[in-house]
Structure 1
């Protein structure tokens, strides 16, 4: 139990920070890295990118595979930004502007995804006998069994989302749940929704839609 002196000390500190209004300071365990107000995009570098990478890691987008905090906005950092934008139903452009920055600053939860190590088990639970192991091989080739993998941009500007890499220029619209593009991207980055949609796509069109169909 927290002692009364510690509570009073916290209140005094809150008053000092808040200019007289009593408030509650965030717990150090949940304190968020403060992001720069600079718009960040692929190819940028510096301390502001390091803060972005640290914040993405704080939100648990990694499932045990954290971004390297190196201050370089490269492919993996952009993929995580795409994934964050998709799960929070923002415009998926890979640019950390005011809307994405605000969502990053205010988010208190991660993206609520299962980790790569358990994706194969979920495929086995959802797909019927006889096609499960092939489906796992295809998914492993497509995304590395990473539920928040985002591939692209492709030559036509499209992106591919999730375990089975649904393309937002075609398969995303028809097979994933949701009435808006934002909802469908969110579903594509949710492992079980993606896996079920992939089964529907397979039942309709076989393995042909996947680049890794021969895996």
Structure 2
């Protein structure tokens, strides 16, 4: 075997060894990346009024789940109305009890969610409304939705009677949500109410049946 062939053989052997090392190491690296992407939460149960480092971790984790358009939570360690609303929305999108309490079930979903909290920008929600509502009504519909929810698809409002209002057009869990959102259960209906496309289509169906009367912001 001449010198050139010996050099080529040695180079090929080195390449094979390098590829083998890469294949052996890559899964470990990939696993480490998956494990380090999610902020680990405390085992403490958190609810409205809680405060401290564990709440900061919760706020950070909620922000990791896809919030955008400048509407991320302030990581201040205070479980106030904004944090509670995001917890409500996360629970609704993951079809678990919408109680605002971060206990074992919600913590488990936060670690391994079925659905994130990606929020479309105002312009996208407005465009979705225009695609569903007729031209003669679309500007009014956008004004009503902006007044009701700030065009926020995961907006959740709490009423004095204990019911909640969900999504872009704020469907109420005490009536309009059950009647107008698709789904075979309340949990599915809530998930759909917090999904902008389904919420907007349901709002137009409701308008065609009852006009602007169902909305607090009907005069917007």
- TM interval, shorter chain, is 0.7 to 0.9
Q: Distance in 1 between matches of 2:22 and 2:82?
A: 42
CA contact (8 A) 1:164 1:198 kept: yes
Q: Corresponding residue for 2:141? A: 135
Q: CA RMSD in A?
A: 2.2
Matched, 1:161 2:166: yes
- Give the 4+ runs in structure 1 shifted more than 4 A: 2-11
Q: Secondary structure at the match of 1:151?
A: strand
Q: Displacement, 1:106?
A: 1.2
TM-score, scaled to structure 1:
0.87
Q: Displacement, 1:7?
A: 5.5
Task: State how many pairs are aligned.
Answer: 203
Flag the structure with higher helix content. 2
Give CA-to-partner distance per residue, 1:62-99, whole Å, 9 cap, x none: 44421111000011100100000000001000110111
- Bigger Rg, structure 1 or 2: 2
TM-score, scaled to structure 2:
0.85
Q: Can you give the 5+ residue segments of structure 1 that lack an aligned partner in the other structure?
A: 15-22
Q: Distance in 2 between matches of 1:118 and 1:4?
A: 47
Matched, 1:67 2:73: yes
Matched, 1:114 2:120: yes
Q: Distance in 1 between matches of 2:110 and 2:141?
A: 34
Q: Distance in 1 between matches of 2:121 and 2:19?
A: 39
Matched, 1:191 2:196: yes
Q: Can you give the 5+ residue segments of structure 2 that lack an aligned partner in the other structure?
A: 1-17
